[in-house]
Structure 1
Amino acid sequence: MNFPEDFLHYVWQFKSFDYKDLQVLSGEDLTIIHQGFLNKNAGPDFSNAKIQVGETVWAGNIEIHIKSSDWLKHNHQTDKSYENVILHVVYENDVDIKRIDGSILPVLVLKNRISNDLIERYANLFLTLNDFPCAAQIHTVDQLIIDSFLSRTLIERFEQKTQAVFETLDQTKGNWDETFYRFLSRNFGFKVNAFPFELLAKAIPRQIFGKHKDHTQQIEALVFGAAGFLNDHFEEEYPGLLQKEFQFFQRKYHIKPIEVTNWKFMRMRPQNFPTIRLAQFAALIYRSNHLFSKIMEIKDVVGLRSLFENLPVNIYWQSHYHFKKTAEGVSTQIGKSSVDNILLNTIALFLFAYGKHTGTQVYISRAIRLLESLPAEKNAIIDKFIEAGVTIDNAFSSQAILQLKKQYCDRKKCLSCSIGIKILKQV
Structure 2
Amino acid sequence: MKEDFLHYLWRFKKFDTLNLRTTQDEQVTIIKTGDYLELAGPDFFNAQIKIGNQKWAGNIEIHIKSSDWYLHHHERDTAYESVILHVVWEHDTEIFRQNNTEIPVLVLKNYVAPEIISNYQALMAPKSWIFCEKQISQIDEFVFKSWLERLFFERLERKSKPIYDLLNETNQDWEAVLFSLLAKNFGLNTNGNSFFQIAKALPFSIIRKESFELVNLESLLFGVSGLLDSEKEDVYFKDLKFSYFYLIHKYQLEKVYVEPVQFFKHRPDNFPTIRLSQLVNLYHKQQNLFSKITALKSLKEIYNVFEVSAGSYWQNHFQFDKQSPKKAKFLSKSFIDLLVINTIIPVQFTFAKVMGDSISEDLIMLLDEVAPEKNSIIEKFNSFGIKSKNAFETQSLLQLKNEYCNKSACLKCVVGMELLKNNK
1:316 paired residue number: 313
C-alpha deviations, 1:78-127, integer Å up to 9, x for none? 54443443322111111122334433322221234434543343334334
In the alignment, is the contact (CA less than 8 A) between 2:309 and 2:328 conserved in 1?
A: no
1:250 paired residue number: 248
3-state SS of 2:106 partner: strand
Q: Following the alignment from structure 1 to structure 2, what is the Cα–Cα distance between the partners of residues 324 and 200? A: 23
1:392 paired residue number: 388
Of 267, 282, 288, which residue of structure 2 is paired with 1:290? 288
Q: Following the alignment from structure 1 to structure 2, what is the Cα–Cα distance between the partners of residues 188 and 64? A: 49
Quote how far apart the aligned CAs of 1:321 are: 0.9
C-alpha deviations, 1:202-244, integer Å up to 9, x for none? 3323221222233222222223223222334444433332232
In the alignment, is the contact (CA less than 8 A) between 1:180 and 1:292 conserved in 2?
A: yes
TM-score w.r.t. the length of structure 2 is 0.91
Quote how far apart the aligned CAs of 1:260 are: 8.9
Q: Following the alignment from structure 2 to structure 1, what is the Cα–Cα distance between the partners of residues 193 and 9? A: 46
2:91 paired residue number: 93
Quote how far apart the aligned CAs of 1:291 are: 0.8
Of 390, 415, 418, which residue of structure 2 is paired with 1:419? 415
1:130 paired residue number: 128
Q: Following the alignment from structure 1 to structure 2, what is the Cα–Cα distance between the partners of residues 281 and 301? A: 19
Of 243, 254, 274, which residue of structure 2 is paired with 1:276? 274
Structure 2: which amino acid aligns with 1:86? Answer: I
Structure 2: which amino acid aligns with 1:377? Answer: E
Distance 1:114 1:243, change over 3 A: same
C-alpha deviations, 1:36-72, integer Å up to 9, x for none? 3323223332234343333444444322111112223
3-state SS of 2:162 partner: helix
In the alignment, is the contact (CA less than 8 A) between 2:410 and 2:416 conserved in 1?
A: yes
1:346 paired residue number: 343
3-state SS of 1:28 partner: coil
Quote how far apart the aligned CAs of 1:33 are: 4.0
Structure 2: which amino acid aligns with 1:223? Answer: L
3-state SS of 1:94 partner: coil
2:397 paired residue number: 401
Structure 2: which amino acid aligns with 1:220? Answer: E
C-alpha deviations, 1:123-178, integer Å up to 9, x for none? 34334232122111211211222222222222221112211111111111221111
Q: Following the alignment from structure 2 to structure 1, what is the Cα–Cα distance between the partners of residues 281 and 24? A: 78
TM-score w.r.t. the length of structure 1 is 0.91
In the alignment, is the contact (CA less than 8 A) between 2:84 and 2:104 conserved in 1?
A: yes
Of 378, 381, 386, which residue of structure 1 is paired with 2:374? 378
In the alignment, is the contact (CA less than 8 A) between 1:36 and 1:46 conserved in 2?
A: yes
Quote how far apart the aligned CAs of 1:331 are: 4.0
Equivalences for residues 144-183 of structure 1 within 5 A? 144-183=142-181
Q: Following the alignment from structure 1 to structure 2, what is the Cα–Cα distance between the partners of residues 82 and 53? A: 19
In the alignment, is the contact (CA less than 8 A) between 1:228 and 1:257 conserved in 2?
A: no
Does 2:8 match 1:7? no
Q: Following the alignment from structure 1 to structure 2, what is the Cα–Cα distance between the partners of residues 170 and 20? A: 53
Q: Following the alignment from structure 2 to structure 1, what is the Cα–Cα distance between the partners of residues 3 and 258? A: 53
Does 2:103 match 1:105? yes
In the alignment, is the contact (CA less than 8 A) between 1:271 and 1:330 conserved in 2?
A: no
Q: Following the alignment from structure 2 to structure 1, what is the Cα–Cα distance between the partners of residues 108 and 121? A: 18
Q: Following the alignment from structure 2 to structure 1, what is the Cα–Cα distance between the partners of residues 192 and 86? A: 52
Q: Following the alignment from structure 1 to structure 2, what is the Cα–Cα distance between the partners of residues 37 and 65? A: 17
Kindly report the root-mean-square deviation, in angstroms, between the aligned alpha carbons of the 2 structures: 2.4
Structure 1: which amino acid aligns with 2:341? Answer: L
Tell me the number of residue pairs that the alignment of Structure 1 and Structure 2 aligns. 423
Q: Following the alignment from structure 2 to structure 1, what is the Cα–Cα distance between the partners of residues 233 and 44? A: 74
In the alignment, is the contact (CA less than 8 A) between 1:187 and 1:345 conserved in 2?
A: yes
